[in-house]
Amino acid sequence: MESIGSRIKAARKAKRMTQKELSDSADVSATSIVYWERDEIEPKSKNLASLARALECAPDYLMYGATFGEEVSIPQFHSRVPLIKWDNAGEVPMQGDADWIYCPVQCGKNTFALTVQSDSMVSTSTSSKSYPLGTVIFIDPDVKAVNGAKVIAKKSKTKEATFKQYIIDGGEIYLKPLNPQYPTLLVDHDTVIVGSIIGSFQPE
């Protein structure tokens, strides 16, 4: 079975790049490229995105060998998503209003990304995942919110977006922060669930 290392190597050779050129383009060490191509270790999510960008292919191809047609030697499909401003959450970005980044997981065509700007989703529990300031979160509007999901919601009147946990309790729906210093919000008729969080990335 073809490995992630062999796919990285094949994609590099298809781009006519040396290991050093790939390491420079992906901003990783040349030693890492050697280890990855030998399948001695696997690249982490942040490095996988950099590799995919440098090789002009999708992260899913490097990880799983996903393809969309036999005529394409290096599969290229839409896993780049707009990194937009909070005020624009859930809206189609205008040209020039967003940077485009690779989503580290499989995503729908309407997926977008936001950068966390508060500590409301920083948990005080070591057993719960936290989303500190600077974390990039990936939101898919086509993924239905379920109990316990992390979501982006907006008030239709103010258009102000918030990042919270979607909780169903006693017939009511709430938006709960992981940080207890912030209030829990009741989902009412004015609340719009923009989408569910499908992944996140924390820079070093």
Share of the chain above pLDDT 90, in %: 49
- pTM, two decimals, is 0.63
| Chain position carrying tokens 């918030």 | 162
Give pLDDT tens digits for 74-114.
444 346 788 998 988 878 766 556 788 878 777 888 899 99
Asked if residue 104 is part of any domain, the answer here is yes
104 and 145 fall within a common domain = yes
How far apart are the two ends of the chain, measured CA to CA in Å? 33
* 74-84 pLDDT tens trace: 444 346 788 99
Residues 53 and 96 in one domain: no
Sign of CA dihedral 15, 20, 24, 26: positive
pLDDT (tens digit per residue) in 18-38: 999 999 999 999 999 999 999
Q: What is the CATH number of the domain that holds 42?
A: 1.10.260.40
The verdict on residue 56 lying in a domain is yes
- The answer as to whether 134 is a domain residue is yes
Count of domains forming the chain: 2
Residues of the domain holding 53: 4-64
Asked which of 17, 38, 64 is the last residue of a domain, the reply is 64
